[in-house]
């Protein structure tokens, strides 16, 4: 009899003082994603600029992105796959990683009176159940860092 699968999840939201279109453009270009992670990690992307197609093929792996600790040391990969994609507003990534049976990342950009709100929700199922709690701590720290960088990058105004 197999052990029940353990799933983990968390969510972060940040109020940003930038137009939703600018934040969406940032969120769908690898340069922007890597600015969020800097200097903790970097994700690779085929090509040089790393812009997302206007409407990526849903349910198909777009590419394999290597996750490099401090931009140098490969620690994981992400077979990036979108299940849903609403240009300018939302994506739902449903991928497989070396360390994860399932990685689900939803990012929503919502207009507000002063700019927009960016919300990241993550759910994952680790391949090695005993390390799930540690991965939860590490992934939460990484997304807390990403949101800190997002607020720093988009803090102009009021």
CA atoms within 13 Å, Cβ hemisphere of 42? 9
Write the pLDDT tens digit of every residue in 60-100.
999 999 999 999 999 999 999 999 999 999 999 999 999 99
Q: Which residue has the higher pLDDT, 119 or 6?
A: 119
Look at residue 158 in the predicted model and tell me its pLDDT: 44
Q: Quick one: 9-52+60-153 is in which CATH superfamily?
A: START domain (3.30.530.20)
From the number of C-beta atoms within 10 Å of its C-beta (0-12, 13-18, 19+), residue 27 rates as: middle
Q: How far apart are CA 156 and CA 144, in angstroms?
A: 20
Alpha carbon distances (Å) from 86 to 4, 17, 28, 89, 91 = 33, 22, 12, 6, 6
With a pLDDT cut of 90, the percent of the chain lying above it is 82
Q: How does residue 127 score in pLDDT terms, banded at 50, 70 and 90?
A: very high
Give the containing element (helix H, strand E) for 108.
strand 100-112
Q: What is the pLDDT, as a whole number, of residue 102? A: 97
Closest CA to 103 of 2, 4, 10: 10
Is the pLDDT reported for residue 142 higher than 50?
yes
Residue 45 confidence class, pLDDT cut points 50, 70, 90 = confident
Residue ranges covered by each domain of the chain: 9-52+60-153
Cα 157 to chain centroid, rounded? 26
């Amino acid at each position: 009899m197999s052990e029940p699968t353990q799933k983990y999840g968390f969510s972060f939201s940040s109020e940003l003082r930038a137009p939703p279109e600018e934040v969406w453009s940032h969120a769908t270009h690898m340069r922007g994603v890597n600015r969020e992670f800097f200097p903790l990690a970097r994700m690779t992307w085929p090509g040089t600029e790393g812009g997302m197609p206007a409407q990526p093929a849903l349910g198909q792996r777009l590419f394999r992105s290597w996750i490099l600790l401090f931009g140098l040391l490969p620690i994981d990969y992400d077979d990036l796959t979108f299940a849903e994609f609403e240009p300018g507003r939302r994506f739902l990534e449903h991928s497989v990683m070396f360390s994860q049976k399932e990685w689900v990342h939803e990012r929503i950009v919502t207009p507000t009176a002063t700019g927009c709100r960016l919300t990241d929700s993550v759910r994952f199922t680790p391949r090695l159940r005993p390390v799930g709690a540690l991965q939860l701590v590490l992934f939460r720290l990484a997304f807390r860092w990403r949101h800190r960088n997002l607020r720093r990058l988009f803090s102009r105004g009021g």
